[in-house]
């Protein structure tokens, strides 16, 4: 397993955090449902380039992100359409529309592949932001593993929220019964369920950086946390406001 080392800090980092990061890094390198291991690592690389992309800076300042033409910073093998999707998620996510997702799907970036891409980008970005917050260099991306995607679709799928199909609230059954507890399918959890492994990866990191789904039922203080639930939610609310997360 990939090793994340936080030993050089002036304070201790809980052991479950680097363990979860290492597990996800190994998963990132492997083929997924719709992307090869090499493509998944390239998506992670593109998510890092987005923060230094001059075109993204121009587009963020534009009244409409759909009227400006240009090319993204792109030193990897991914197509311009895929890189555009990655960069929008990092730099201009609040202006992603149904029309954009549909146009991508009609031009080679299927909704299934898009959801897996979203899962990679948001999870890698969460890990990277942890490093940035501590003033540490980013972890080197893993070497891709060989193999082909599974192209596996979950069932049943519905289109009752968001821009992509999802499992219904009562649809986490059978091999996907681990995705959420019965009766606890918040939309934010269902959002990536077109690719169940994307949900698993995101939950793994969210569970150590914030709370597990089970831990969300604890409104006082987790024994494994230094601050109580009210303090956690105060910080989460402030971060969400700064990041313009309106969920």
Within-domain flag for 167: yes
Q: What is the pLDDT of residue 19?
A: 97
Q: What is the pLDDT of residue 57?
A: 97
b/e burial code for range 139-148 (CB count within 10 A of at least 16 → b): bebbebbeee
**Which 3 state secondary structure label does DSSP give 10?**
coil
**230 with 119, same domain?**
no
DSSP lists the bridge partners of residue 166 as 158
**222 with 195, same domain?**
no
**236 with 194, same domain?**
no
Full residue range of the structural domain in which residue 139 is found:
16-213
pLDDT band at 44 (very low <50, low <70, confident <90, very high): very high
**203 with 234, same domain?**
no
**161 with 228, same domain?**
no
What one-character DSSP code corresponds to residue 235? H
Distance, CA of 228 to CA of 140 (rounded, Å): 33
Within-domain flag for 174: yes
Within-domain flag for 10: no
Within-domain flag for 5: no
pLDDT band at 247 (very low <50, low <70, confident <90, very high): low
**206 with 222, same domain?**
no
Cβ neighbours for 125, distance < 8 A, ≥ 6 positions apart: 47, 90
Within-domain flag for 8: no
Give 217-227 pLDDT, tens digit per residue.
888 888 888 89
What one-character DSSP code corresponds to residue 62? S
Whether pLDDT at 117 is above 90: yes
Distance, CA of 176 to CA of 197 (rounded, Å): 9
**140 with 130, same domain?**
yes
Share of the chain above pLDDT 90, in %: 82
Mean pLDDT lowest for which of 6-10, 29-33, 79-83, 123-127? 6-10
Whether pLDDT at 242 is above 90: no
Mean pLDDT of 110-122: 98
Within-domain flag for 9: no
Cβ neighbours for 72, distance < 8 A, ≥ 6 positions apart: 49, 50, 53, 55, 56, 80, 83, 84, 87
Give the residue from 19, 207, 159 showing the smallest Cα distance to 171: 159
Mean pLDDT lowest for which of 74-78, 82-86, 177-181, 221-225? 221-225
**Which 3 state secondary structure label does DSSP give 68?**
coil
Question: φ, ψ for residue 166 (rounded to 5)?
Answer: -140, 165
Within-domain flag for 2: no
Mean pLDDT of 20-49: 98
Q: What is the pLDDT of residue 215?
A: 81
Mean pLDDT of 116-137: 97
Q: Which two tokens stand for residue 233?
A: 């939610």
- Mean residue pLDDT of the chain comes to 94
Distance, CA of 59 to CA of 80 (rounded, Å): 15
Distance, CA of 153 to CA of 116 (rounded, Å): 12
**177 with 222, same domain?**
no
Q: What is the pLDDT of residue 220?
A: 84
**178 with 245, same domain?**
no
**44 with 118, same domain?**
yes
Within-domain flag for 140: yes
Is there a contact between 178 and 203 (Cβ–Cβ < 8 Å)? no
**166 with 61, same domain?**
yes
Number of domains in the chain: 2
Residue with tokens 């990939």: 2
Cβ neighbours for 36, distance < 8 A, ≥ 6 positions apart: 144, 147, 148, 149
**183 with 235, same domain?**
no
**Which 3 state secondary structure label does DSSP give 166?**
strand
Distance, CA of 57 to CA of 50 (rounded, Å): 9
Distance, CA of 219 to CA of 241 (rounded, Å): 21
Whether pLDDT at 189 is above 80: yes
Mean pLDDT of 109-129: 98
């Amino acid at each position: 397993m990939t090793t994340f080392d936080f030993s050089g800090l002036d304070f201790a980092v809980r052991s479950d955090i680097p363990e979860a990061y290492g597990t996800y890094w190994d998963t990132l390198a492997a083929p997924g449902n719709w992307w090869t291991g090499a493509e998944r690592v390239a998506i992670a690389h593109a998510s890092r380039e987005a923060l230094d992309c001059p075109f993204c800076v121009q587009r963020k300042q534009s009244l409409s992100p759909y009227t400006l033409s240009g090319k993204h910073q792109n030193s990897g093998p991914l197509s311009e359409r895929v890189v555009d999707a990655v960069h929008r998620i990092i730099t201009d996510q609040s202006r992603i529309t149904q029309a954009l997702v549909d146009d991508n799907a009609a031009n080679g970036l299927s909704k299934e592949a898009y959801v897996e891409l979203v899962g990679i980008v948001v999870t890698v970005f969460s890990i990277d932001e942890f490093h940035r917050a501590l003033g540490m260099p980013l972890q080197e991306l893993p070497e891709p593993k060989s193999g082909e995607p599974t192209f596996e679709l979950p069932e049943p799928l519905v289109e009752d929220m968001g821009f992509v199909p999802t499992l219904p609230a009562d649809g986490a059954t059978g091999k996907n019964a681990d995705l959420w507890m019965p009766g606890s399918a918040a939309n934010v959890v269902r959002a990536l369920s077109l690719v169940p492994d994307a949900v698993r990866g995101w939950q793994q990191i969210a569970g150590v950086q914030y709370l597990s789904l089970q831990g969300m039922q604890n409104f006082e203080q987790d024994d494994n946390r230094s601050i109580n639930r009210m303090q956690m939610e105060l910080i989460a609310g402030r971060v969400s406001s700064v990041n313009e997360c309106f969920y």
